Chain A
Amino acid sequence: MHTSRLSTLALAIGTLCLVSGAFAQTKYGLGRKATDQEIAGWNIDVDRDGKSLPAGQGSVKQGAELFANQCAACHGDKGEGGIGDRLVGGQGTLATPKPIKTVGSFWPYAPTLFDYIRRAMPLNAPESLTNDEVYALSGYILNMNGIVPADATMDAKSLSAVKMPNRDGFVEDPRPDVP
């Protein structure tokens, strides 16, 4: 019993020595170094330029089928909205009294579509789609908005290359602006 405890302790000390370089220089000595593998597993952030988009690809056609199965129940068969947000249409309405804000009319960057679908959709099972499926869905939603053709295949390069209609529609915060 004692021997077993001692060896566990020795192992623990050994492990501590191995990683001690990670926190020896920090002020409070708290936490441990994150491994590349841990970071790769958790870091799913996709930047607006798409530089951090993952490998994989999916076609608009595949996206149409996935959308019907995974998305239409909330977003409508054609992305017209329902329980979930409207995704399609509204281009040209932003400066009217009734702006319709959708992916097509409002979102400034296409890679954000990949980022959001992958992390948060579908609402009942987030992070359940493969990267290929997320590319396909991104392509289909863009296609329904008339932004990419029906025969398009999306991957890191093609999704990054998409110029969204409202890319230049965002301005800096000028507040305080009233009174």
Chain B
Amino acid sequence: MKRGSRAETAKSSTRRQFLAAGSLAVGGAAALVASGEVLAAKPVAGAENLPPNVPEWMKAPGADVGSEPYGQPSKFEKAIVRNMRKDAKQYTSFWSGSPLEDLEGTITPNGLFYERHHGGIPEIDPAQHRLMVHGLVETPMVFTMEDVRRFPAQSRTHFIECAGNPPFTRIYADKASSLVGLVSCAEWVGVPLKTVLEQVSIKPGAKWVIAEGADAAALTRSIPIEKCLDDAMLVYGQNGEALRPAQGYPLRVLLPGFEGNMNVKWVRRLHVTAEPAYSREETSKYTDSMPDGTARKFTFVMECKSIITRPSGTQKIKQGFNEISGLAWTGRGKIVKVDVSTDGGKSWQEAKLQEPVLTRALTRFRLPWTWDGTPTTIVSRATDETGYVQPSFEELKAVRGVNGVYHNNAMQPWKIAESGEVSNAHVKA
């Protein structure tokens, strides 16, 4: 595991300096024990900074205050980036995932929020951005961003998850972010959509709001009016700053618990209607194909789901203590329970949920575990406040087949080999 170096302890830095020079570990002095693992054979770079020596970064002042007007992560974290396939035919309409296995807590850093764009990322000058609300309203209106920001604001923490995370036929990827990296969570700031709709006064007969993005796809999705008048928002703030361009700057729709595609980014128009648009995105895409040839339409809610992110695929664990940690979420409210099995589903233990547990937000679970070195399979299973229990892939497949593409919320088992290597327990037949 990447973070293993934190626990490293060294007994003799001078001796390690010799080791760093390339010589083989010899004698008792080389038996450097960390977390039960003998590190002796590995030369340690930078041993001159380890105790009892004073590290070099203490011997001279560091970079000046303000040397970075917009701070960046440590250069030692440069490997923590969005996870993206390199073999796409084009990247105008594509996706990249959050590196879930490398993230802490429940809030996704803005620079690592997952992406799914259909016509690239537009560069929008907020001074030239307008929100038009029209259709079945008493007063069709145009709002500037300044107008939008003047409405009474709210902050809410919610996840957004792509509907196809992952498609039913792509459950064999090697790591967590390749499987379910199209989910992220942020504290959003904006105006309740209800407030804006009150401003224009919707007419009787208004049942849907078609939201349109100001991107090259002019992406449109139809939102039921009930959701618009419930917890839907128009957001401009994300984790303390303005939305990033990739998340819809300067304004996006936020529909807590609904599939990502409906949370229209760069929103410029809200068309209040009696009927849904039946747009390309909600007929030919984002409908769920069933084995009998029918397709489910308007499948909005992202159902209860969880995944163990540590340890997870491509990581390697050591015998002894390992905390099992992961993320759970549900579009139907709060997570109430996450069970974890460390014996391939034969028995289950209840993991501890990190407080506060928020509605329609990523929830962190943790379970202490001591691995005895026997190969096994670990898996998590979340339950939400409606009593719904996350299904296994087999259970989902029995009802929906594998052509549905969207709304796969199956459990994700990880196999642990005798070597400690963790891999996807779903193996393609």
Contacts and interface: CB of A to CB of B under 8 A. Distances in A.
Nearest to B139: A33
A119 interface: yes
Interface string B190-222: 000001001100000000001010001111100
Contacts of A97: 403
Which DSSP category, helix, strand, loop or mixed, fits chain A's interface?
loop
B199 A30 contact: yes
A4 to B, nearest CB: 24
A30 B142 contact: no
Interface in B71-112: 89-90, 92-93
Nearest to B88: A83
B199 A28 contact: yes
B369 interface: no
A42 B269 contact: yes
A34 B141 contact: yes
A152 B254 CA distance: 43
B301 A175 contact: yes
A27 B199 contact: yes
A113 to B, nearest CB: 8
B395 A179 contact: yes
A24 to B, nearest CB: 11
A106 B286 CA distance: 12
Contact of A44 (B218, B299, B399): B218
Contact of A42 (B150, B219, B268, B386): B268
Which of A45, A83, A178 has the most CB atoms of chain B within a 10 A radius of its CB? Answer: A178
Contacts of B388: 176
Interface in B388-408: 388-389, 391, 395-396, 398-400, 403, 407
Interface in A140-179: 169-179
Interface string B293-304: 111111111010
B284 interface: yes
Contacts of B407: 175
Q: How large is the interface on B (under 10, 10 to 19, 20 to 34, 35 or more residues)?
A: 35 or more
Nearest to A44: B218
Contacts of B268: 42
B303 A175 contact: yes
B296 A170 contact: yes
Interface string A16-31: 0000001100111011
Contacts of A106: 283-284, 295
A123 B120 CA distance: 10
Interface string B135-151: 00001111110011011
Given A30-B151, A123-B119, A109 B299 contact: no
Contacts of B132: 34, 38-39, 42
Given A43-B269, A101-B284, A178 B294 contact: no
Contact of A176 (B89, B278, B283, B303): B303
Given A22-B139, A48-B278, A112-B279, A30 B150 contact: yes
A108 interface: yes
B291 A95 contact: yes
Contacts of A27: 198-199
8 contacts: A28-B150, A34-B141, A48-B275, A94-B295, A123-B90, A172-B297, A173-B296, A178-B399
Top-3 shortest CB links A-B: A95-B293, A94-B293, A116-B280
